[in-house]
């Protein structure tokens, strides 16, 4: 929890007063559009800071700095135990500055400092330590021939793992601090140099991170940060011919743009994209657990969460009880946002996002879904608040059932069958496949259904359990590749096979 002795207000006011530029080659560099980007606190709609809006020129500078540091071997060839020491030291620095980071992140996305402290900062520090631990364990294999060689001679093969090179990383605005650590930790562990572009809506904590990195022994040019908007800075990074790999987290639509931009030099691509994750409640589920969990699954961070359980599939026998329980929870939710108090529902990230979510609610009404609760902007609050909203009588072809809304909007579909293949068919009736959960009192059924669901993550009586050691990523249009765990390290490594006659 937050330590009440530490008052971060003065320090943060100072931080917010300066227009942030870009962190390139170990220095703050100014550049980009004349007009800076306004950083808005979505709880109030007020501008709290400005950042510079970089473009192709700043991306080029940053990629060059990353290239120089990579090719010099100053990081990629540093002794693994030394590289690990530096990442561990960054994790310690992050924990020492947890209050400051939580403060900035809370202002930037409209949540309480305590929430950010626990899920934003603590998890990030642990994730960094997790990958720091891998550095001294990266290595290849020795391989026996599988068949006699034509020459009649035997040969020996061994594989070597090498860092892939210069990496571009683009992140969205939900949990930007944790998201940035989730990307840079495996890249640095592998020995890569990188250029990170945060989202324009929430760039502050990542700039603060650059300041912390500058205090470590990480060589200059290994970590570079370019602030700016996606269609300029982001696009320039994705198409840059000297970037060896791009790792992107964001919407499926932009993910497709990244993919075509990456085609120029066939850079390797990892994509963590959107979702429309099903929460499936079978008739034998313990409803005292399943109902509050289903509410958390959709309403956590106001549904602005890629794993949000936005599609509830519930058996007819328990449908009314589940809907009543969810509506009671939604109606009792506290709505608001300030630094020191936790609310159940906070603001959406921007006016644009609020308008988009309200338009989806109108679409749902027009499609004939029944509004069980919510459906409106919260009156009396200046920020971008939308009521927790539940639609019942939803059918598979409705747009609100098919498209990612990224807001506090749950669709409920009722089913009569107990056939697991049919139930999985409903859960899988989506172009996405990021997360899912199954609620049942019968663990065998839970495992059988988990086996049939096409999704990178399936929870049995739990929704969206995240851990640094557990691979995370999407089937279908929810992405390419995995982050977290050993699998999250692999995309930053090339495998070289070395063969010699014996």
Tell me which residues are annotated as active site: 272, 306
Q: Of 76 and 435, which CB lies nearer to ligand NAP in the complex structure?
A: 435
Q: Which residues contact 440 (CB under 8 A, 6 or more apart)?
A: 282, 284, 285, 446, 449, 460, 461
Residue span 437-476 as binding mask against ligand NAP, x where in contact by CB under 6 A, dash where not: -------------------------------------x--
Interface region with ligand NAP, contact rule CB under 6 A, candidates 198-206, 293-301, 382-390, 492-500: 198-206
Q: Of 86 and 489, which CB lies nearer to ligand NAP in the complex structure?
A: 489
Q: Of 88 and 475, which CB lies nearer to ligand NAP in the complex structure?
A: 475
Could you give the C-alpha distances from 325 to 12, 43, 350, 372, 464, in angstroms and in order? 41, 28, 30, 11, 21
168 touches ligand NAP by CB under 6 A:
no
Contact between residue 134 and residue 189 where contact means Cβ atoms under 8 Å apart: yes
194 touches ligand NAP by CB under 6 A:
no
249 touches ligand NAP by CB under 6 A:
yes
User: What residues between 406 and 435 interact with ligand NAP by CB under 6 A?
Assistant: 406, 434
Interface region with ligand NAP, contact rule CB under 6 A, candidates 88-96, 110-118, 225-233, 444-452: 225-233
> Please, what's the b/e burial string for 283-294 (b: 16 or more CB within 10 A of its CB; e: otherwise)?
eebebeebbebb
Nearest distance in Å: CB 127, ligand NAP: 13
Q: Of 75 and 173, which CB lies nearer to ligand NAP in the complex structure?
A: 173
Q: Residue written as tokens 């639509």?
A: 253
Q: Of 11 and 403, which CB lies nearer to ligand NAP in the complex structure?
A: 403
Count of alpha carbons within 13 Å of 437, Cβ hemisphere only? Answer: 26
- Residues pairing with 225 in the sheet: 23, 196
Nearest distance in Å: CB 119, ligand NAP: 13
> Which of 250, 347, 383, 408 is in the footprint of ligand NAP by CB under 6 A?
250
Angle, helices 204-214/98-109, rounded to nearest 10 degrees = 160
For the residues of 367-382, what is the DSSP string, one character each? TT-EEEE--SBPTT-S
Classify burial at 245, counting beta carbons within 10 Å of its beta carbon; exposed 0-12, middle 13-18, buried 19 or more. buried
108 touches ligand NAP by CB under 6 A:
no
Interface region with ligand NAP, contact rule CB under 6 A, candidates 102-110, 246-254, 280-288, 387-395: 246-254
254 touches ligand NAP by CB under 6 A:
yes
58 touches ligand NAP by CB under 6 A:
no
How far apart are the C-alpha atoms of 262 and 256, rounded to whole Å? 10
181 touches ligand NAP by CB under 6 A:
no
Taken as a whole, the chain contains a residue count of: 502
Report which secondary-structure segment, H or E, holds 246. strand 245-249
173 touches ligand NAP by CB under 6 A:
yes
> Which of 135, 187, 190, 235 is in the footprint of ligand NAP by CB under 6 A?
235
Nearest distance in Å: CB 456, ligand NAP: 9
How far apart are the C-alpha atoms of 413 and 399, rounded to whole Å? 13
Nearest distance in Å: CB 479, ligand NAP: 6
How wide is the angle at C-alpha 181 spanned by C-alphas 162 and 24, nearest 5°?
75
Nearest distance in Å: CB 1, ligand NAP: 26
Interface region with ligand NAP, contact rule CB under 6 A, candidates 18-26, 99-107, 230-238, 326-334: 230-238
306 touches ligand NAP by CB under 6 A:
yes
Count of alpha carbons within 13 Å of 457, Cβ hemisphere only? Answer: 30
> Judging by DSSP bridges, how do beta strands 166-170 and 245-249 pair with one another?
parallel
Could you give the C-alpha distances from 473 to 302, 400, 451, 458, in angstroms and in order? 21, 23, 16, 11
Interface region with ligand NAP, contact rule CB under 6 A, candidates 15-23, 155-163, 226-234, 338-346: 226-234
> Which residues contribute to the site for ligand NAP (CB under 6 A)?
170-174, 197, 199-201, 229-231, 234-235, 238, 249-251, 254, 257-258, 272-275, 306, 404, 406, 434, 474, 479
């Amino acid at each position: 929890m937050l330590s009440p002795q530490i008052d971060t207000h003065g320090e943060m006011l100072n931080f917010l007063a300066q227009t942030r530029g870009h962190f390139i080659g170990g220095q703050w560099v100014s550049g980009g559009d004349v007009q800076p980007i306004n950083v808005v606190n979505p709880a109030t709609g007020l501008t709290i800071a400005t950042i510079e809006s970089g473009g192709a020129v700043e991306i080029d500078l940053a990629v060059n700095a990353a290239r120089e540091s990579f090719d010099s071997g100053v990081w990629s060839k540093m002794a693994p135990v030394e590289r690990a020491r530096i990442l561990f030291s960054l994790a310690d620095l992050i924990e020492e500055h947890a209050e400051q980071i939580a403060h900035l992140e809370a202002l930037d996305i409209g949540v309480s400092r305590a929430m950010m402290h626990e899920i934003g900062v603590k998890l990030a520090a642990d994730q960094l330590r997790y990958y720091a631990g891998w550095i001294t364990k990266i290595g290849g294999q020795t391989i026996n021939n599988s068949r006699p060689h034509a020459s009649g001679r035997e040969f020996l093969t061994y594989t070597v793992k090498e860092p892939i090179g210069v990496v571009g990383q683009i992140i969205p605005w939900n949990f930007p601090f944790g998201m940035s650590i989730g990307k840079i930790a495996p890249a640095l562990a592998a020995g890569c140099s990188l250029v990170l572009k945060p989202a324009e809506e929430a760039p502050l904590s990542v700039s603060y991170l650059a300041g912390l990195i500058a205090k470590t022994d990480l060589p200059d040019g290994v970590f570079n940060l370019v602030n700016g908007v996606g269609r300029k800075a982001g696009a320039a990074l994705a198409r840059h011919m000297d970037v060896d790999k791009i790792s992107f987290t964001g919407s499926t639509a932009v993910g497709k743009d990244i993919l075509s931009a990456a085609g120029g030099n066939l850079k390797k691509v990892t994509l963590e994209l959107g979702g429309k994750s099903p929460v499936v409640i079978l008739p034998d589920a313990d409803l005292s657990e399943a109902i509050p969990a289903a509410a958390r699954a959709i309403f956590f961070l106001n549904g602005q969460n890629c794993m949000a359980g936005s599609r509830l599939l519930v058996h007819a026998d328990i449908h009314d009880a589940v809907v009543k329980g969810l509506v009671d929870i939604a109606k009792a939710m506290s709505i608001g946002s300030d630094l020191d108090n936790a609310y159940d529902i906070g603001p959406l990230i921007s006016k644009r996002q609020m308008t988009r979510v309200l338009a989806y609610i109108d679409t749902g009404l027009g499609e004939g879904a029944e509004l069980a609760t919510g459906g409106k902007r919260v009156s009396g609050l200046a920020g971008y608040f939308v009521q927790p909203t539940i639609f019942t009588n939803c059918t598979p072809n409705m747009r609100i059932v098919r498209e990612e809304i990224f807001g506090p909007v749950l669709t409920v579909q009722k089913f009569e069958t107990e056939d697991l293949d049919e139930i999985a068919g409903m859960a899988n009736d989506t172009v996405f496949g990021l997360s899912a959960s199954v609620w049942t009192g019968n663990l065998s059924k839970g495992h059988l259904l988990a086996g049939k669901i096409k999704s990178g993550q399936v929870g049995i009586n739990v929704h969206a359990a995240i851990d640094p050691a557990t691979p995370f990523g999407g089937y279908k249009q929810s992405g390419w590749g995995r982050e977290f765990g050993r699998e999250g390290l692999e995309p930053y490594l090339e495998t070289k096979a070395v063969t010699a006659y014996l």
